[in-house]
């Protein structure tokens, strides 16, 4: 074990990755080094996810494994959504945790590490939130960024004020708090200067950006200012749009500002109005049809991603069939699905979890099989075309990257024959398609041959 070293495991979504990288930056600044091997690190940190049942199980499993293998002198800190939501209960369930941090207290990591390293104590050190943190309001602002290859996530808000009946995020994170525009612009400029090629805007609901400032069409306003402020940023990608809030102005900004990728991630969760009503989600499916048609007309190359929940309480065969037919009709570039998992404390509590697990699994498998065939067909339509690809890695004669159609971690990859430099955006002639990924060759290489 090496003194002043840490090993950090980041679980869950991109929003957690931002907090993990911010904690790592603070520790690096304090003289710590990051270690890949947990056995060699003095401080073990798990940034947990508590979003749904399987994510909670994974968080407990990783914490439990590290607690069991903890050696003399090592300390274990649990941070993130699970601890934010369950606090003391996490330390009771996993013996051996020395420190507990909530999601809005990630910036206390150095202080917590110092406290827990003073020596054994009867109780863990708790840094849990009493109040919402206004993201970007303090000196740690510049750290709220996660850089990977040529891409960086920027969190534009934290928390959520939507009432979705299945979701624990508002319980965990509280209501939406937007980050000041100037702070986002400043960070974007810093990232541009550091060579970042793709900015990925994230929040629980990006289309709600600025509502707490009284800003109308806040996301569109932010995108206009961002594209003016960093005109040489190659790609700007927007994630997590809420149905009903993709406005005409937002569509226009996306269609006319070339840096904004023609990519829309809009988690729809279901397509039957009755299911959506029980979910306390916007249930106007006509709006979805009209908005997607409008966007496809304004942005012909638009790639659309969404996610669905199957087996929501009360989901009848007819309701599931409506979802299946909708997916078949819209032909999303990308669609993910989750079998419903009940979260105690959410407003779906009175509904319980009545759809049998085998029914959920069967519906999930049917929907994913359909989507895989659609995704394959859509991917095949790109064979012979040339796409710009942001290169993320090279190994053994093969480069790997993403096109505008692929958000990191959730979408596909472009596998390129030959060597391209990591961080470059290169034209790739697509030569093959699979359900999720594309294969291709460097277009420049073809020209020189």
**Backbone φ and ψ of 276, nearest 5°:** -65, -35
44, 107, 160, 390: residue in contact with ligand SF4 (rule CB under 6 A): 160
**Backbone φ and ψ of 191, nearest 5°:** -70, -40
State which residue, 42 or 55, has the beta carbon closest to ligand SF4.
55
| Binding window for ligand SF4 (CB under 6 A); candidates: 24-32, 96-104, 159-167, 424-432 | 159-167
Check binding of 279 to ligand SF4 (CB under 6 A). Answer: no
State which residue, 100 or 241, has the beta carbon closest to ligand SF4.
241
State which residue, 291 or 379, has the beta carbon closest to ligand SF4.
291
Closest residue by Cα to residue 399 from 442, 343, 336: 442
The Cα–Cα gap between 27 and 235 comes to 30
Min dist CB 308 to ligand SF4, Å, is: 12
Pairing of strands 263-265, 414-417: unpaired
Check binding of 156 to ligand SF4 (CB under 6 A). Answer: no
Check binding of 337 to ligand SF4 (CB under 6 A). Answer: no
Min dist CB 404 to ligand SF4, Å, is: 24
| Binding window for ligand SF4 (CB under 6 A); candidates: 157-165, 350-358, 388-396, 424-432 | 157-165
State which residue, 187 or 205, has the beta carbon closest to ligand SF4.
205
11, 100, 156, 169: residue in contact with ligand SF4 (rule CB under 6 A): 169
Check binding of 241 to ligand SF4 (CB under 6 A). Answer: no
State which residue, 101 or 167, has the beta carbon closest to ligand SF4.
167
| Binding window for ligand SF4 (CB under 6 A); candidates: 72-80, 165-173, 301-309, 381-389 | 165-173
Q: Residues interacting with ligand SF4, by CB under 6 A?
A: 160, 162, 164, 167, 169-170, 204-205, 242
């Amino acid at each position: 074990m090496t003194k002043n070293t840490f090993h950090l495991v980041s679980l869950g979504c991109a929003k957690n990755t931002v907090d993990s990288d911010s904690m790592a930056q603070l520790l690096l600044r304090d003289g710590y080094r990051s270690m890949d091997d947990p056995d060699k690190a003095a401080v073990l940190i798990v940034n947990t996810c508590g979003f749904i049942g399987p994510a909670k199980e994974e968080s407990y499993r990783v914490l439990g494994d590290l607690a069991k293998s903890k050696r003399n002198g090592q300390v274990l800190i649990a941070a993130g959504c699970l601890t934010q939501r369950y606090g003391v209960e996490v330390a009771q369930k996993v013996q051996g945790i020395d420190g507990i941090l909530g999601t809005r207290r990630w910036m206390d990591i150095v202080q917590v590490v110092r406290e827990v390293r003073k020596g054994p104590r009867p109780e863990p050190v708790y840094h849990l939130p009493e109040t919402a943190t206004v993201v970007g309001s303090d000196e740690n602002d510049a750290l709220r960024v996660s850089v990977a290859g040529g891409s960086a996530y920027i969190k534009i808000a934290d928390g959520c004020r939507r009432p979705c009946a299945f979701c624990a995020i508002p319980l965990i994170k509280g209501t939406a708090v937007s980050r000041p525009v100037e702070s986002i612009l400043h960070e974007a400029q810093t990232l541009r200067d550091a060579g970042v090629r793709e900015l990925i805007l994230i929040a629980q609901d990006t289309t709600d950006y600025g509502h707490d400032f009284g800003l109308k069409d806040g996301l569109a306003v932010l995108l206009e200012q961002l594209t003016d402020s960093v005109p040489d940023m190659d790609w700007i990608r927007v994630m997590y749009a809420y149905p009903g809030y993709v406005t005409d102005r937002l569509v226009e900004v996306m269609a006319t500002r070339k840096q904004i990728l023609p990519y829309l991630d809009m988690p729809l969760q279901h397509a039957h109005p009755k299911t959506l009503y029980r979910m306390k989600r916007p249930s106007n499916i006509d709006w979805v049809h009209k908005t997607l048609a409008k966007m496809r007309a304004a942005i012909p190359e638009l790639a659309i991603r969404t996610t669905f929940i199957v087996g929501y309480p009360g989901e009848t065969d007819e309701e599931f069939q409506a979802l299946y037919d909708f997916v078949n009709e819209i032909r999303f570039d990308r669609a993910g699905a989750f079998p419903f998992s009940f979260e105690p404390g959410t407003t779906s509590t009175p509904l319980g979890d009545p759809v049998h697990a085998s029914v959920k699994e069967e519906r999930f498998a049917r929907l994913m099989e359909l989507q895989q065939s659609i995704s394959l067909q859509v991917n095949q339509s790109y064979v012979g075309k040339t796409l710009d690809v942001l290169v993320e890695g090279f190994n053994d004669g093969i480069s790997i990257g993403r096109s505008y159609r692929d958000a990191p971690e959730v979408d596909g990859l472009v596998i390129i024959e030959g060597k391209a430099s990591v961080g470059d955006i290169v034209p790739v002639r697509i030569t093959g398609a699979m359900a999720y990924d594309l294969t291709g060759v460097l277009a420049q290489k073809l020209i020189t041959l």
